[in-house]
Amino acid sequence: QVQLVESGGGVVQPGRSLRLSCATSGFTFSDYGMHWVRQAPGKGLEWVAFIWYDGSDEYYVDSVKGRFTISRDDSKNTVYLQMNSLRVEDTAVYYCARTYGDYHPDSWGQGTLVTVSS
């Protein structure tokens, strides 16, 4: 069955970096675009980044542009989120989700917690 498993979260100081991974299985990864979506404590869902199925383009919410980079490795069926210059307000559970084309994401992982704190 379709599985998405995030990893790489943890506690990090402001200004430092972290790389999240989302390992997938149960579907043809190269056919799907991938999103990262986050949920800050006590808040709702916020879309963070999207990469097309072929890696041809990437998109970001304004608050992370220039700091976060989404990428994919089709040989490993994995999508990444490189997060640099982390801020306290980046503290959240980060979810990866797959999407066919630009359809609504239809399968999500369980999330990984990122805490940015001094």
Interface residue with other proteins among 32, 94, 105, 114 (CB under 8 A) is: 105
State the nearest-atom distance from the C-beta of 13 to other proteins, in Å: 26
Does the protein bind other proteins through residue 33 (CB under 8 A)?
A: no
Interface residue with other proteins among 22, 24, 80, 109 (CB under 8 A) is: 109
Residue 99 near residue 88, CB atoms below 8 Å: no
Does the protein bind other proteins through residue 35 (CB under 8 A)?
A: yes
Q: What DSSP assignment string belongs to 44-86?
A: -EEEEEEE-TTS--EEE-GGGTTTEEEEEETTTTEEEEEE-S-
Helix and strand element counts for the chain (H, E)? 0, 11
State the nearest-atom distance from the C-beta of 111 to other proteins, in Å: 7
Alpha-carbon distances, residue 96 vs 18, 46, 117 (angstroms):
15, 12, 23
Does the protein bind other proteins through residue 27 (CB under 8 A)?
A: no
**Which stretches of the chain bind other proteins, using CB under 8 A?**
4, 35, 37, 44-47, 50, 59-62, 95, 97, 102-111
